């Protein structure tokens, strides 16, 4: 009678063989299983702004990236310090350098998913729109900032920057132009504007609405951008050495025209009128506009209201009193061509940017009006 306490050698061999087979199968399955995909690479180009403006010294691009817990879930970050100043201190020359640098990075690194740019919020919408017209790649450029500095209770900069990386890493962000991401919201650079001096929800697109949102589970887009931008832009910053002077003149009751003639006398090649309503001027502004336009200064009319489209016209903008400026000689000089161009629905500060770039390509009013209709 066999001893039940002694192991059965046959049974033991069978169990051992089965274990070896299971281990071998596990090893083969592990080798055949696809590796978890790495998150896309995204580069930060930091220019400064409130998001970096810590008491005692500004945060660097490296410090900003290292302050983002969980970033590695969404992107493999890279960082580069382009500048570290307030947005109002960025010069037009630096705008050109920044656009050239972004184009250079994209050209040299075809596997890079996107780029995040930090900016001060005061002029963020201007920088974003300039890049929207001058970055010539379909990959996303996302501009972020913050309304509170890192030394302030409730600093939201880290959250905005993390969301900027998430949007730049998302394939759905391609071909939408430059994007502005703050406060969980995605706006188009062309349409967004700063609407409040202090509140966190300051960046809005007013009647146009959001492009999308950044939620805990994913990046969501609700609509697309139909105007020309980035990869379809005709503006080549590699060929631009300096941006021409373009000034913005505000219309207000009884405004003098000498501000307009002075701008032209000091070298303005273009003037954008932030007109009352749908294009009205006031005081002696109408006469001054005829005068400078007759000398070749390009005049573009927008609206100071914050929204709405100004239609193109051949006559000068009406004054708020209803009287038209008397300048028949100047008017005759413009027979057969556009006299005062329309900014369409562009805010005056963005119309200035488009006009500066347009003047690097042409001085033909009809061509410039085409650009305002397309961009």
Query: Closest by alpha carbon to 347, among 337, 355, 339?
Result: 355
For residue 270, give the CATH number of its domain: 3.40.50.40
Q: Check whether residue 102 and residue 162 sit in a common domain.
A: yes
pLDDT value at 322 more than 90: no
For residue 135, give the CATH number of its domain: 3.40.50.1170
Q: Check whether residue 360 and residue 284 sit in a common domain.
A: yes
Residue 137 within any structural domain of the chain: yes
Among the three residues 208, 232, 256, which one is the final residue of a domain in this structure? 232
Digit-coded pLDDT (tens) for 15-74:
555 555 555 555 544 455 556 689 999 999 999 999 999 999 999 999 999 999 999 999
Q: Check whether residue 142 and residue 105 sit in a common domain.
A: yes
Residue 368 within any structural domain of the chain: yes
State the pLDDT at residue 37.
87
Q: Check whether residue 155 and residue 273 sit in a common domain.
A: no
Whole-Å CA distances, 143 to 51, 121, 328, 367: 12, 10, 47, 30
Q: Check whether residue 105 and residue 218 sit in a common domain.
A: yes
Phi, psi of 115, rounded to the nearest 5 degrees: -130, 140
Catalytic pick among 50, 261, 284, 303: 50
- The pTM for the full model equals 0.86
Structural domains in the chain (count): 2
Residue 20 within any structural domain of the chain: no
Among the three residues 232, 258, 276, which one is the final residue of a domain in this structure? 232
Q: Check whether residue 259 and residue 213 sit in a common domain.
A: no
pLDDT category of residue 312 using cuts at 50, 70 and 90: confident
Among the three residues 232, 258, 290, which one is the final residue of a domain in this structure? 232
Q: Check whether residue 258 and residue 217 sit in a common domain.
A: no
pLDDT value at 324 more than 50: no
State the pLDDT at residue 219.
98
Digit-coded pLDDT (tens) for 132-180:
999 999 999 999 999 999 999 999 999 999 999 999 999 999 999 999 9
Q: Check whether residue 211 and residue 105 sit in a common domain.
A: yes
Q: Check whether residue 258 and residue 315 sit in a common domain.
A: yes
Q: Average the pLDDT over 184-210 and give the result.
A: 97
Residue 240 within any structural domain of the chain: no
Q: Check whether residue 250 and residue 344 sit in a common domain.
A: yes
Q: Check whether residue 52 and residue 200 sit in a common domain.
A: yes
Q: State both tokens at 48.
A: 């400064």
Residue 11 within any structural domain of the chain: no
Dist CA 73 CA 86 (whole Å): 30
Residue 27 within any structural domain of the chain: no
Q: State both tokens at 360.
A: 């690097």
Q: Check whether residue 100 and residue 167 sit in a common domain.
A: yes
Residue 22 within any structural domain of the chain: no
Residue 289 within any structural domain of the chain: yes
Dist CA 300 CA 200 (whole Å): 32
50 carries an active-site annotation = yes
144: domain range? 41-232
State the Rg of the chain over Cα: 29
């Amino acid at each position: 009678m066999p001893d039940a306490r002694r192991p059965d050698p046959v049974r033991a061999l069978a169990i051992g063989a089965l274990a070896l087979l299971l281990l071998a199968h596990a090893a083969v399955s592990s080798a055949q299983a696809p590796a978890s995909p790495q998150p896309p690479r995204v580069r930060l180009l930091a220019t400064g702004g409130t998001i970096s403006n810590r008491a005692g010294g500004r945060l660097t691009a490296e410090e900003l990236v290292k302050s983002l817990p969980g970033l590695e879930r969404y992107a493999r970050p890279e960082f580069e310090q382009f500048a570290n100043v307030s947005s109002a201190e960025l010069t037009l020359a630096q705008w050109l350098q920044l656009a050239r640098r972004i184009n250079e990075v994209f050209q040299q690194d075809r596997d890079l998913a996107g780029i995040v740019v930090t900016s001060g919020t005061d002029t963020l919408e201007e920088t974003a729109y300039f890049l929207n017209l001058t970055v010539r790649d379909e990959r996303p450029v996302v501009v972020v900032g913050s309304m509170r500095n890192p030394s302030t209770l409730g600093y939201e900069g880290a959250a905005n920057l993390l969301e900027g990386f998430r949007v730049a890493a998302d394939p759905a962000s391609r071909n939408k132009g430059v994007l502005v991401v703050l406060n969980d919201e995605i706006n188009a650079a062309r349409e967004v504007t700063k609407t409040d001096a202090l509140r966190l929800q300051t960046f809005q697109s007013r009647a146009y609405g959001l492009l999308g949102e950044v939620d805990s589970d994913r990046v969501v887009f609700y609509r697309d951008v139909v105007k020309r931008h980035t990869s379809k832009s005709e503006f080549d910053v590699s060929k631009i050495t300096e941006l021409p002077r373009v000034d913005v003149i505000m219309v207000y009751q009884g405004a003098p025209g000498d501000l307009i003639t002075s701008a032209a006398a000091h070298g303005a090649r273009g003037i954008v009128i932030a007109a009352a309503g749908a294009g009205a001027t006031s005081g002696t502004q109408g006469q001054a506009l005829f005068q400078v336009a007759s000398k070749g200064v390009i005049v573009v009319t927008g609206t100071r209201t914050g929204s709405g489209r100004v239609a193109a016209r051949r006559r000068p903008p009406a004054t708020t009193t209803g009287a038209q400026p008397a300048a028949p000689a100047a008017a005759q000089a413009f027979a057969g061509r556009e006299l005062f161009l329309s900014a369409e629905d562009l805010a005056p500060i963005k119309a200035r940017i488009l006009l500066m770039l347009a003047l690097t390509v042409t001085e033909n009013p009809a061509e410039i009006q085409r650009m305002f209709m397309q961009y």
